A and B are shown apart, each in its own frame.
Chain A
């Protein structure tokens, strides 16, 4: 198809408008655009406010979407009204004569035939471009990044490691597990009539995802990102336990339960005493094992650590704590913001100690790395709820700088698999 059929300026501009919104991250697909055509047909002659309400109800699916929608709508329709589509003759039309509805069939065929960049020659509208340049911008400076994309990517990552596979009918999952002993005892007491099975306990408190976030001074620049990560935790997965560590271990799961996002920062500031202090990963993990490990860690838990690995403690303690963590979990993923910078080599003692116990180490310094991680995990879902260690099936070729290092490391810990996803160190 070379040219869209020019049936009505409104329907063509609906399509353009929808495309603009899609670029901003709204879920406006072909199905949604088809529905918009139906809606416009149904509403007939209506004012701009009604059209805006109708399209917003249809296309914006969250408060953030609504704000984006409003902005794009204002700019779009202003420009369009000034553009060449304005036909003077329409002002003479009688108010109650309904215009012929746009031909939906031809519109749909045009939509599926392949969209064009040409929007009937109106003024080009400046828009955000979540392109390559922005994708490479460091996450330290979050203010210039489209917030939605960052949150989306983080959300995808969280969901792919923390979401249980969905169950359909199955057994009625009451709180806790069936207490067979008490059920049988009750059965015996009631003379052979099994009236009510007995369930045990208030449900399984052990989490699917266990997160450790480094809040020491070296990670201070990434505080914004850490907070985003935490906000995404809260929204996307329920069964999560989160800890911060620096010089101390601090459990911050209760702070995540609070539904008000604006309070997250203040509550964390109150709860975490060692923000921007030193780093003692080994000692804090040891403390975790002593106090929480038995309760929270189980063979199907996925562990996520966000840290740059600058450790000032003793390497032996670190190695031992990490070994225990690795052994008792299903999958251990380490997000390292330093990793994306050119010339990175895991040379510090901390990193060398830790690396054999990590199943996947990935950079997280910019949006592209987050997208990469989301893509990697979506192709290799690491779902909790299964036994045995997980490993990424798809191992991308390791860059030449790291290949030699990986070999030497794996020779000393040959029984452990090390899957290192490709790190693109070229800018």
Chain B
């Protein structure tokens, strides 16, 4: 029996046989900074063999989880990008009609019989396997990412649910294909609409929000090690400050990393107003946001603690007004 929690809060977990901790370390090694909850969610997804639904604002690293998981597990990464109007056929398979027609022409010339011709026409060569079919046919479990499921519609969700339960596909000309292995399934959604109850019950649920200062700093250190540490700290503090405001397109982790790398490439080792203003387009991707941000920069700098004059550095630059 598990002991009451309040007494055991401080006991260190035995790291050697803690799979969650091991997963977290492996992800970190692959380049993804995961927190406890993410690692727990991934671990449970494999234990319970359930899909994992990841929701959160755009740009927080939902897609990256799947890619990194594939890297860590050493398996293939298959991605199905959902969009409005996506239907089952686009996601599953398509017959290569053009090739089949050409084959028919050739067969006619060579005088092949109809049965022989039909046998080849509906073979593997003429089947264009789309992501879902590829995921099913793989001999070893792959990582299947179904990205932005909220952009597809309810019919597609219903079809997906069926697939996730039965793990088999019926192609009329070929027959029923049963999955050789069950992939790790990760669903992402930007919450532009509410996914159906059925999908939410079927999956585990993970909410990833914009990272806080510590986590973002860890990400910058891991992903952009060339960036000077004090610059990284200032950048992360700046991002923390601006995310408190309401933007059309709140900048995500990708913007932070782009900005950090850009400033490092420009040989900056701290934030100064002139360069921030010049590189604002890396942080804000919407014209309205840039227009709002420019006059507010002074306020942000104050909150971050960036002073308008350069601190004395070893290169001895002139202080700017």
Binding site for B on A (CB under 8 A): 7-11, 27, 32, 35, 38-40, 42-43, 45-51, 53-54, 56-58, 60-63, 65-66, 77, 80-81, 85-87, 90-91, 93, 95-96, 99-100, 102, 155, 163-164, 166-169, 172-175, 193-196, 203, 234-236, 238, 259, 262
Contacts and interface: CB of A to CB of B under 8 A. Distances in A.
A166 B154 contact: yes
A47 B47 contact: no
A394 to B, nearest CB: 24
A54 B4 contact: no
B155 interface: yes
A235 B9 contact: no
A189 to B, nearest CB: 15
B47 A53 contact: no
Contact of B87 (A155, A163, A173): A173
Contact of A60 (B40, B48, B193, B205): B205
A193 B5 CA distance: 72
B74 interface: no
Given A47-B13, A173-B85, A259 B1 contact: no
A356 to B, nearest CB: 34
Q: Which 3 pairs between the two chains have the least Cβ-Cβ distance?
A: A8-B1, A48-B5, A61-B200
B89 interface: yes
B13 A46 contact: yes
A338 to B, nearest CB: 30
22 contacts: A8-B1, A9-B1, A27-B200, A42-B47, A45-B11, A45-B14, A46-B13, A47-B9, A47-B13, A48-B6, A49-B36, A57-B37, A57-B204, A62-B55, A62-B205, A77-B6, A81-B4, A166-B154, A166-B155, A166-B158, A168-B88, A203-B85
B98 interface: yes
B159 interface: yes
B98 A195 contact: yes
A53 B204 contact: no
Q: How large is the interface on B (under 10, 10 to 19, 20 to 34, 35 or more residues)?
A: 35 or more
B114 interface: no
A51 B154 contact: no
Interface string B19-52: 0100000000000000011001100100110000
B89 to A, nearest CB: 4
Contacts of B192: 259
B89 A99 contact: no
B2 interface: yes
B101 interface: yes
B269 interface: no
B11 A238 contact: no
A193 B101 contact: yes
Contacts of B207: 63, 66
A87 B4 contact: yes
Given A57-B40, A62-B205, A238 B153 contact: yes
Contact of A236 (B7, B193, B204): B193
B193 A53 contact: no
B4 A95 contact: no
B155 A167 contact: yes
B278 interface: no
A99 B7 contact: no
A54 B40 contact: yes
A99 B192 CA distance: 45
Contacts of A48: 5-6, 8-9
A77 B5 contact: yes
A236 B194 contact: yes
Given A9-B1, A100-B1, A166-B154, A235 B85 contact: no
B103 interface: no
A47 B1 contact: no
